[in-house]
Amino acid sequence: MADDTVIGIEKVSKRFGGFVAVHEADFAIARGKFFSMLGPSGCGKTTTLRMIAGFEQTTSGRITLEGKDVSRVPPYKRNVNTVFQHYALFPHMSVFDNVAFGPRSRRTGREEVSKRVRELLDVVRLSQFAERKPGQLSGGQQQRVALARALVNYPSALLLDEPLGALDLKLRQAMQLELKRIQREVGITFVYVTHDQEEALTMSDRIAVMNEGHVEQIASPEEIYDKPASVFVAGFIGVANLLRVTVDSVNGEQATVKFPDDTRVSASSAGASFAIGSPATLMLRPERIRLSMTEPSTKGARLGASVAQLTFQGPLVRTELRTSDGSEIVAHIGPDDDLPALRPNDQVWLTWDEDAARLLPIADERLGGEAREIEEIGQVHFARSDA
């Protein structure tokens, strides 16, 4: 595992005056992986990236690159390269000269520079634009020049700072696949910063979810989505129903919880410990919820609710439900769900597989917010990336 580490972030903190941008981040990035740092703006992900690049110095802790401490090494002596948010291509140079900039800085021979630049322009499919100026290229093409300019140096890791932020949706999706293809082709470690959860889920091998300077969870996209470590992660990635419950009993990794109206359901409590009788948050993904008009005969989790609102969203119908205690729950119904047309105020039963419900510690004091608020952030976010 240690040999596999390209970048080590060891108890790294960054303060700007009194503001803590990054608090004791501690993780390792493995060779050849697509690693994403995901979080809302101001969560410290870009600051972390800039510390890896060398543009910012750590306040405490250390950063290692290929096993060597680089915490105080200036950016031009670090073998990492950055793709900037707005590309930062040199406007007075041709595409060729932009890509050749790094090798020439390192006094690479002329033949070698030319060979490598041609090779990388082939990888990003821009060979015929070598003599153009960046201003004569489209946004997507400029993006690929920026990629080639960084990759031509064969860096230990490529750092990408929201590189697709300036592109429109269609182009962004095409570039996501293109980025993934290039990453596989060159085999270089990518460290990708984004606030777009969909983008992170699509491309990453591993994701670090950050919030207010803290790393909340580091895991694979599937794990982040299915087994979020905190209420924040659950709300930030996709849509999550976050319900207030009380812990009734705990048995290994399985817990039974109680809704305010005394309905008891079981949920997975893996990864955290809960005291009996303490409040907790139950997370349910909307697509894991099934609806039926009659009380299901099978035993297992069930909850009665009434339909509050229905919104047609193309592939699914977003159904907002209200339980007897007033909690709001969102369920996604697909065209194959065997249901009659629902109308507001219809009484329905909610069921779900036991592994779909996860018990999370209640939003901790650091966040200070209510689970409900975070759920809203998650949903707002979902709505935006869906638009």
- Is residue 19 close enough to count as binding other proteins by CB under 8 A? no
Looking at beta carbons only, is 24 or 97 nearer to other proteins?
97
Output the smallest distance, CB 41 to other proteins, in A: 17
CA distances from 226 to 283, 355, 359, 375 (A): 10, 9, 12, 16
With binding defined as CB under 8 A, does residue 138 bind other proteins?
A: no
Q: Cα separation of 244 and 372, whole Å?
A: 9
DSSP output for 29-72 = EETT-EEEEE-STTSSHHHHHHHHHTSS--SEEEEEETTEE-TT
Closest contact distance (angstroms) between CB of 200 and other proteins is 23
If one asks whether residue 105 binds other proteins (CB under 8 A), the answer comes out as: yes
User: Among residues 15, 133, 180, 244, which is the contact residue for other proteins, using CB under 8 A?
Assistant: 133
Among residues 16, 26, 69, 90, the one that binds other proteins under rule CB under 8 A? 90
149 binds other proteins (CB under 8 A): yes
Sole window of 75-83, 205-213, 309-317, 357-365 interacting with other proteins (rule: CB under 8 A): 75-83
Applying CB under 8 A, the span of 148-156, 191-199, 269-277, 359-367 interacting with other proteins comes to 148-156
For other proteins, the closer CB: 47 or 327? 47
Does residue 53 touch other proteins according to CB under 8 A?
A: yes
**Count of CB atoms within 10 A of residue 250's CB?**
16
Contacts for 297 with CB less than 8 Å, ≥ 6 apart: none
Give min distance, CB of 5 to other proteins, in A. Answer: 22
Contact by Cβ (8 Å): 150, 74: no
Chain-centroid distance of CA 165 in Å reads 14
Nearer to other proteins, 47 or 281 (CB): 47
Q: Which C-beta is closer to other proteins: that of 136 or that of 309? A: 136
As a whole number of Å, the end-to-end CA separation of the chain is 41
Q: Which is nearer to other proteins, 98 or 217 (CB)?
A: 98
Under the criterion CB under 8 A, does residue 142 sit at the interface with other proteins?
Answer: no
**Binding of residue 75 to other proteins (CB under 8 A):** yes
**Strand locations in the chain, DSSP E?**
5-16, 19-30, 34-38, 60-65, 68-69, 80-83, 157-161, 189-194, 206-211, 214-219, 241-251, 254-258, 264-268, 279-284, 290-292, 302-312, 317-323, 328-333, 347-351, 358-360
Which position has the token pair 């006094």?
107
Q: Exactly one of 81, 204, 269, 319 binds other proteins (CB under 8 A); which one?
A: 81
Number of residues forming the site for other proteins (CB under 8 A): 31
Give residue for tokens 């200070």: 368
- Rounded distance between C-alpha atoms, residue 331 and residue 319, angstroms: 5
Q: Of residues 30, 73, 88, 130, which one binds other proteins by CB under 8 A?
A: 88
In angstroms, what CA-CA distances link 233 with 295, 312, 332? 32, 26, 20
Coil vs helix vs strand at 198: helix
59 is an interface residue for other proteins by CB under 8 A: no
Stretch that binds other proteins, among 38-46, 74-82, 205-213, 291-299 (CB under 8 A): 74-82
For residue 133 the two structure tokens come to 């100026």
Q: What is the nearest approach in angstroms of other proteins to the Cβ of residue 97? A: 7
Q: How far is the CB of 189 from other proteins (least distance, A)?
A: 16
Instruction: For residue 381, give the nearest of 140, 201, 177, 207 by alpha carbon.
Output: 201
311 contacts other proteins (rule: CB under 8 A) = no
Q: Which residues bind other proteins (CB under 8 A)?
A: 53-55, 74-77, 80-82, 84-86, 88-94, 97, 101-102, 104-106, 133, 135, 149-150, 153
